[in-house]
């Protein structure tokens, strides 16, 4: 914490609770007992300031062919299939019966992939980069592990659809050496959007890119206007966690980052992405040890690959119950103000 006369400190149980130089922390000695005047931001803004709000992407409505008797944009066959009256106009653009963030235009567009407007669907596309490990190895996610994760979603009445080479969008990307964030966004545009800003998939699919060495070990990112994507660097993760297989690191890392595209961040719950929860000698370990979630660094690489349901006692959090299914296409960060 800052602003203490005794100096800056970390909220953990240590002999010396001062900010250390290890793990990127700086030693602040000596510290001032008197405040510095006119330094830093005062957070005062002009009344004319208006925060920019982004909702969706401003895309054209998806054009779906077929006879449409009521001219509501959705063909008769789909309305009949799901129990809508094809002779009565429905505002399908704003109908989301199951609350999964997909309106009926998007549900209809994904009909051939078994999208259900009355049951939550989550669509995830993986692209994977060729690996320098050789032709006998791949960054493509492991199908057996993906099926295990699908079961976890199914247990919570959510259908997880994963395109990892079995659909129309997923593909292998030619190898690139370590690239920065700008290069990552170029890959997002080229291989996910296919340079089409009106591509319907970006409002339907979460996106994961698996590579050897990207801009970091694993992180979610905003490729265009919303937080719908993540990148996993298998080689970097392997250096940090050599005891795990590449396949395991890719899957666990991916579904940790996928949780962020559902809006799960530390502002929702302090055990999320909290490195202090990793160490027995730190206070946060004891606060959040019951938060048995892939979002908790303590359990990211364990054998469960699951989010928490909040039923593990004190310090737990209901990830499943707090998924914001529209976050990936209508990102809104609401950090609390102390």
Q: Is residue 118 part of a domain?
A: no
**Number of structural domains the chain divides into:** 1
Four-point Cα dihedral 59, 61, 65, 66, nearest 10: 170
Give the pLDDT of residue 268.
85
Look at the alpha carbons of 98, 99, 100, 105 in this order and tell me if their dihedral is positive or negative: positive
Query: What is the rounded distance in angstroms from the CA atom of residue 100 to the CA atom of residue 326?
Result: 7
Name 161's Cβ contacts closer than 8 Å, sequence gap at least 6. Answer: 110, 113, 114, 115, 121, 122, 123, 124
The verdict on whether omega for the bond into residue 30 sits within 30 degrees of 0, i.e. cis, is: yes
Q: Is residue 38 part of a domain?
A: no
Using alpha carbons, select from 99, 92, 150, 149 the residue that is nearest to residue 120.
99
**DSSP code of residue 228:** -
Name 167's Cβ contacts closer than 8 Å, sequence gap at least 6. Answer: 113, 125
What tokens appear for 312 in the block?
A: 């593990």
Q: Is residue 45 part of a domain?
A: no
Q: Is residue 10 part of a domain?
A: no
Q: Is residue 130 part of a domain?
A: yes
Task: Give the predicted TM-score (pTM) of the model.
Answer: 0.84
Q: Is residue 311 part of a domain?
A: yes
Q: Is residue 266 part of a domain?
A: yes
pLDDT, one tens digit for every residue, the chain (338 residues): 555 555 555 555 454 445 454 554 555 556 667 777 776 667 676 666 565 665 556 678 899 999 999 999 999 999 999 999 999 999 999 999 999 999 999 999 999 999 999 999 999 999 999 999 988 899 999 999 999 999 999 999 999 999 987 767 889 999 999 999 999 999 999 999 999 988 999 999 999 999 999 999 999 999 998 999 999 999 999 999 999 999 999 999 999 999 999 999 988 899 999 998 998 988 999 999 999 999 999 999 988 899 999 999 999 999 999 999 999 999 877 654 44
Q: Which domain holds residue 146?
A: 125-322
Q: Is residue 299 part of a domain?
A: yes
**What value does the CA radius of gyration of the chain take, rounded to a whole number of Å?**
23
Cite the beta strand spans of the chain per DSSP E: 120-129, 158-163, 172-173, 205-211, 218-221, 229-233
Query: What is the rounded distance in angstroms from the CA atom of residue 294 to the CA atom of residue 253?
Result: 9
Give the pLDDT of residue 17.
47
Q: Which CATH number belongs to the domain containing residue 267 in this structure?
A: 3.40.390
């Amino acid at each position: 914490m800052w602003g203490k006369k005794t100096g800056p400190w970390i909220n953990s149980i240590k002999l010396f609770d001062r900010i250390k130089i290890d793990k990127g922390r700086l030693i602040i000695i000596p510290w001032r007992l008197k405040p510095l005047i006119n330094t830093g931001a005062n957070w005062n803004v002009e009344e004319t300031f208006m925060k920019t709000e982004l909702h969706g992407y401003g895309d054209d409505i998806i054009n779906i062919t077929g006879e449409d008797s009521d001219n509501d944009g959705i063909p008769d066959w789909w309305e009949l299939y799901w129990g809508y009256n094809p002779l009565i106009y429905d505002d399908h653009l704003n109908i989301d019966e199951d609350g999964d963030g997909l309106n009926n235009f998007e549900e209809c567009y994904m009909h051939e992939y078994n999208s259900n407007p009355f049951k939550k669907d989550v669509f995830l596309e993986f692209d994977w980069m060729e690996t320098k490990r050789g032709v006998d190895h791949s960054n493509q996610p492991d199908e057996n592990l993906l099926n295990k994760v699908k079961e976890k979603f199914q247990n919570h009445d959510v259908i997880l659809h994963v395109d990892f080479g079995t659909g129309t969008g997923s593909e292998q990307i030619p190898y690139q050496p370590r690239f920065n964030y700008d290069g990552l966004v170029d890959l997002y545009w080229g291989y996910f959007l296919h340079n089409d800003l009106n591509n319907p998939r970006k409002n339907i699919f979460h996106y994961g890119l698996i590579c050897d060495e990207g801009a970091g070990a694993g992180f979610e990112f905003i490729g265009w206007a919303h937080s719908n994507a993540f990148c996993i660097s298998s080689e970097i993760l392997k250096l940090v966690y050599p005891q795990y297989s590449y396949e395991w690191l890719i899957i666990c890392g991916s579904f940790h980052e996928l949780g962020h595209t559902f809006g799960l961040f530390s502002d929702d719950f302090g055990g999320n992405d909290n490195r202090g929860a990793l160490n027995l000698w730190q206070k946060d370990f004891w606060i959040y040890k019951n938060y048995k979630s892939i979002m908790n660094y303590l359990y990211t690489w364990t054998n469960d690959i699951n989010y928490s349901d909040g039923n593990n006692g004190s310090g737990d959090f209901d990830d499943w119950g707090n998924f914001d299914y529209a976050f990936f296409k209508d990102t809104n960060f609401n950090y609390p103000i102390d």
